[in-house]
Chain A
Amino acid sequence: MRNSKLLTKTLAILVLLFVVSGLAVAITSVWWISHALTQQYESKGTAIANSIASSSVEVLLYRDSSTVQAMIDQYLSIQGVAYVFVLDEQGDIVAHTFAPSVPECVRQLKGDRHATTIQIVDVEDIGECIDVAAPLLEGEVGYVHVGMDRRLISSAVRTAVLLQSAIMGTILLVGLLASYFLVKKITRPLDQLTACATELAATDSTSEAALRANGALVPITERTDEVGHLAKAFWHMVLELSGREQRLLHAEETLRASESHFRSLIENVTDVIMKLNAEGMANYASPPIEHVLGFRSEHFINRNLLEFIHADDNQRVRDTLRQVSQLAGSVSSEEFRLVRRDGAYRLVDASFNNLLADPNVQSLIVTLRDITEHRRAEEMWRIADENQRLLSSISSILIGLDATGRITKWNRAAEDILDVSSRVAVGELLDALPIAWDQAQLTCCIRDCLSLRKPTRLEEFSFKRRDGQPGLLGISITPVFGSDGSPQGLLLLGTDITERRNLETQLRHSQKLESIGQLAAGIAHEINTPIQYVGDNVNFLKGAFADLHSVICKQERLLAGAKCGRLDDDVITDVEQAMASADLAFLGEEVPRAIEQTLEGLGRVAKIVRAMKEFSHPGDEGKVASNLNNLIENTITVANNEWKYVADVVTDFDGSLPLVPCLVSEFNQVILNLIVNAAHAIGDRIKDDPEGKGRITISTRASAESVEIRVTDTGTGMPESVRLKEFDPFFTTKPVGKGTGQGLTIAHAVIVKKHGGTISIETELGKGTAFIIRLPLIDPKCALKDAPAPVNDSASTCASV
């Protein structure tokens, strides 16, 4: 509230009076206190100085400044004493109390020989002091100076002035408050009236202002003085104004209610309704705009609709907008994308209606409908349909099972191969369908898949084909998990591999023929060598026999003559000649050796023939428990010609090797392939060194569950790139005509697929290669058959998932 002039003036005079009187009192008291204290200190200093002067004469005469020092130290503790020092008769200071040094100004002080003198000095470090100088024995011995600290006086004065000011200030404050309230009593009602009038002039609502003024004005109207009359007249005027205003407000209220009714209609439809000017600038948008664009409707106002349209659609909508706005009453609709606040797109269907000419609207009315979700759903339907067609057109069997084991999907290939239509199959349990296959084995495999929670595979699963012939299926069973990781069912993917198996069998056969053909020449050579020297020996024996025979004949004649007692010299000479020409000693030595050699040659031939016979063991007899050492030995023999020019074969057999169930013919083939490969590798290595020879080591070892066969060569070894592809069909590093590229592929197929074993390679470039075969002692297929396989309970198995 603004202070009235009356009040200000009264208070100003009051303050002035106080300041003047306060100052007068302060000055007087400062002068008085300072005067009195100075006098007091001067007399105190004089007393001390005289006391020291009278007592130190004797000490000084003794020249004992130490005792003087002890004495003046005592006086220093008296209140107000700033320093004491004593001069000797030469004016030298013999004792003092200054630290760190005697100020220059005190050295200048001179005393009176006959009286105590008082003067004011300004001492550095201490301040202004009253110096009292007293002579010792009329100055004959020296002088004593005592300094009284004047700062104590000024501090006492300062305290007094402060105290006085505080008291004066308090009185002034009380006086001011009292006069303030007194004057206020008159000026306040006048101020209030003025304020009410000002407020009435400024405010929009007279009645509210009147209500507020009521509390302040009514007490004033009750006064009987002039102020009271003025207040009454003023109050009547206010009431009249307020009445008129009420009537005006009521009319306005009715109008507003009707407007809000229509507005709520617009704002509660899900479509967005907006008003644009001819350029596209929005001056209204209904609240659903927030769902579409992410902006609140008030933020959309005064922005151009075109700003929010996708760049690709912008020009098109711009054109439409221009067209519509050119012709009053025209309507057009358009589909375009809007850019949301977060950058995503919304597809909207918009209709533009030109109401620029309508005096009540004067805008383009645009209705937007968000059709994004609708479009998305349509798109999803289309994709789903396409998937369906894709699945039905693949040539593999595709069967879907749900979590309870019921069939949910049965594609065209399944219908064709298994001869069951999807109409029959879907909704049924798999084992309830009339399909000629080993249901128990399949159920077992499904159970494995469910318990391991990972895909399993059935190789060469037998079934009866549509034409009644036996066929083979390869089936993969894959668990299907939901997005939360829970099992949702299974997917069976099957392929008819009958044709492929047939082709593979043929291929294997042809490879065998190839190797036998290849071996044949070598074996012929192997047999030829012993046969040749057997022939030679027999020829030799033939000649030897002829010679012996002629000796024997001649000896018979001799014998006959001897019996008759007639020994002709002719006959004896004849016998001797025959024996000499036959060289009996030579024959006695060579004939047994020739026979020995011949028998050995025949043995070798027999061995080769036997090995050959066993190697080409007729197949398709199923697995036979075999002595692998023997099989390998045979194969080494058969392949003799393949390796003997390049390498020595060293065998390191485990004599305790148990009998291993195996397909003899196939196994032989594998070992042969490995030996031939090893020989070739060594051949490549020693190509440039006809004298050098490599070594092929074949070892067997038994362990608890398997046997290990290791074929090691000292050949070229193979680089990583070759090693990785080594078991691929048709992969070969040999020149055209030397290999089919099938050898190791077949080895792999035989060991892994037919025997359930493993084959691996250890190789080092330039050092050699080792092929390691492990065969299980127990046929895995037999083991599977032995396992307890519950029949026809896949439903219960699946239900337990």
Chain B
Amino acid sequence: MAYIEHVNRAGGVQGRTIVIRAYDDNYNPQPAIDNTVRLVETDNAFLLFGYVGTPTVTRTLPLLKCYDDRSVYLFFPYTGAEPQRQPPYDEKVFNLRASYGQETGGLVDNFVRIGRKRIAVFYQIDAYCRSGWDGVRKALARHGLRMAGETTYKRGTTFKESLQRQVEILRKNECDAIISIGAYAACAAFIRDARDAGWDVPIANVSFVGSESLLELLLESGQANHKDYTANLINSQVVPSYHNVALPAVRQYRELMERYDPMSPPAFREEGYHPMPYSFVSFEGFLNAKLLVEILRKMEPPLEAGRIKSVVESCVELDLGIGVPISFGPAKHQGLNQVYYTVVSEDRFVPIANWEKWRP
């Protein structure tokens, strides 16, 4: 929002301003499908942007296939799930962030490297987390290992609920690292219960958990219980830390956020909702928007739906200001493959300096 606002104020792209047509799907598949149909049929959109969530995106994919003749493409969905990165849908989708497979795979690789081979998974019993689970399983298989244990929780579990049973199940399996794939409230509850049980095993969360919300819950309850729940907590991220002001993109992100203080579109604003000033998720959104604008700039007028795929696929070594060049190609619809690992230090996420500290 901040970046698009910034571009529009600066005169737009080739003299045309970007209009945001936003609909709310409430993280449910059915409205996601309905909204997509409306965008394509009524609003005549051929460029879909800002989709969030595995269940919603995976169920929308077949629609893109349906609109094959209209050249509708999905740009940079916020999900690391596999379906949009695999045939037959990969050709209709462009991804910026690394996949869950890459995130979980990276975590598994690092844990195995330091000798933590009994890895267990704590996950939400739904499609999004199943893909994360699958990533862990496959990564372990590459090392010739099997999951040391797994435990699940139902979607909608709140922070107040006890997840001690899940902690006990994994503890019985004697695992020495846990990868947690789920929503921030349940993940925070799991961490709290594990630490309360005196179990200091490293627990790693993936980017989609909502790192800042997770941290806020843990700090709050940590303060109430006089405990440090953030020790041995690892979060993998798919964008660099927004604290790293050495990166030009971070500086621009911070400046534009300060300047425009973006809010949700007015129709979806909730009373009493105060978004955090900066977060990994919003920084990812910022990078997505920036990349989209770069691509639009590359298009020579007139803007034609049919040409967009070839334009994107011709992008080579685009510099977004994060120190890593972005390239696309006909067989490469994945922009970034980097996974960034963070730990909590002084109540904020900082990059992991050395994995060796967790060597058992």
Contacts and interface: CB of A to CB of B under 8 A. Distances in A.
A684 to B, nearest CB: 81
Contact of B153 (A95, A96, A99): A99
B130 A66 contact: yes
Interface in A97-128: 97-102
A67 B154 contact: no
Interface string A42-80: 000000000000000000001111111110010000000
Interface string B319-354: 000000000000000000000000000000000000
A66 B152 contact: no
A99 B156 CA distance: 13
B4 interface: no
B232 interface: no
Contact of B58 (A63, A67, A94, A98): A67
Interface stretch (B42-50, B81-89, B206-214, B282-290): B81-89
Given A64-B83, A98-B152, A100-B152, A70 B166 contact: no
B110 interface: no
Interface-central residue, A68, A70, A100, by most chain B CB under 10 Å: A100
Given A70-B59, A73-B127, A100-B165, A65 B151 contact: no
B294 to A, nearest CB: 30
Looking at B130, B133, B149, B166, which has the most chain A CB atoms within 10 Å of its CB?
A: B130
Nearest to A59: B83
Nearest to B87: A62
Interface string B146-186: 00011111100000000101100100000000000000000
B131 A66 contact: yes
Interface in B116-162: 125-128, 130-131, 133-134, 149-154
A64 B82 contact: yes
Interface in B200-233: none
A70 B58 contact: yes
Contacts of B126: 69-70, 73
Chain B: interface residue count, which band? 20 to 34
11 contacts: A63-B134, A65-B130, A66-B127, A67-B58, A69-B125, A70-B58, A70-B127, A96-B125, A96-B152, A98-B125, A100-B169
Given A70-B55, A70-B127, A98-B125, A65 B154 contact: no
A97 B58 CA distance: 19
Contact of A95 (B130, B149, B169): B130
A375 to B, nearest CB: 84
B236 interface: no
B125 A99 contact: yes
B91 to A, nearest CB: 16
A619 B133 CA distance: 133
A711 B24 CA distance: 108
Interface in B221-269: none
B104 interface: no
B152 A65 contact: no
B122 to A, nearest CB: 9
B54 interface: yes
Contact of A62 (B86, B165, B169): B86
Interface in B42-69: 54-55, 58-59
Contacts of B125: 69, 73, 96-99
A69 B130 contact: yes
B168 to A, nearest CB: 9
Nearest to A68: B130
A489 B59 CA distance: 115
Contacts of B166: 100-101
A67 B151 contact: no
A101 B150 contact: yes
Nearest to A97: B125
Contacts of A67: 58, 83, 127
Contact of B127 (A69, A98, A101): A69
Nearest to A74: B29
Given A64-B86, A65-B131, A69-B127, A99 B154 contact: yes
Closest 4 CB pairs of A and B: A66-B131, A69-B130, A70-B127, A99-B152
B193 to A, nearest CB: 12
A96 B125 CA distance: 8
Contacts of B55: 70
Contacts of A64: 82-83, 86, 134
Contacts of B82: 64, 66
Contacts of B128: 66
B133 to A, nearest CB: 7
B65 to A, nearest CB: 14
A66 B54 contact: yes
Contacts of B54: 66
A96 B134 CA distance: 12
Contacts of A69: 125-127, 130
Contacts of A65: 130-131, 133-134
A101 B151 contact: yes
A98 B125 CA distance: 7
Interface string B72-106: 00000000011100100000000000000000000
A50 to B, nearest CB: 22
A332 B131 CA distance: 121
Contacts of B83: 64, 66-67
Contacts of A70: 55, 58-59, 126-127, 130
A66 B149 CA distance: 19
A65 B137 CA distance: 11
Given A64-B83, A66-B54, A66-B58, A101 B169 contact: yes
A100 B163 CA distance: 9
Interface in A395-431: none
A66 B81 contact: yes
Given A73-B125, A98-B152, 6 more contacts: A65-B134, A66-B83, A69-B125, A70-B127, A96-B152, A100-B166
A69 B100 CA distance: 16
Nearest to A71: B127
A100 B125 CA distance: 9
Question: Which one of A67, A68, A102 has the highest number of Cβ atoms from chain B below 10 Å of its Cβ?
Answer: A67
B134 A66 contact: yes
Nearest to B166: A100
A99 B169 CA distance: 11
Nearest to A98: B152
Nearest to A93: B150
A762 B83 CA distance: 113
A66 B83 CA distance: 8
A65 B127 CA distance: 8
Contacts of A102: 150
Nearest to A62: B86
Nearest to A70: B127
Interface in B284-307: none
A88 to B, nearest CB: 11
A98 B83 CA distance: 23
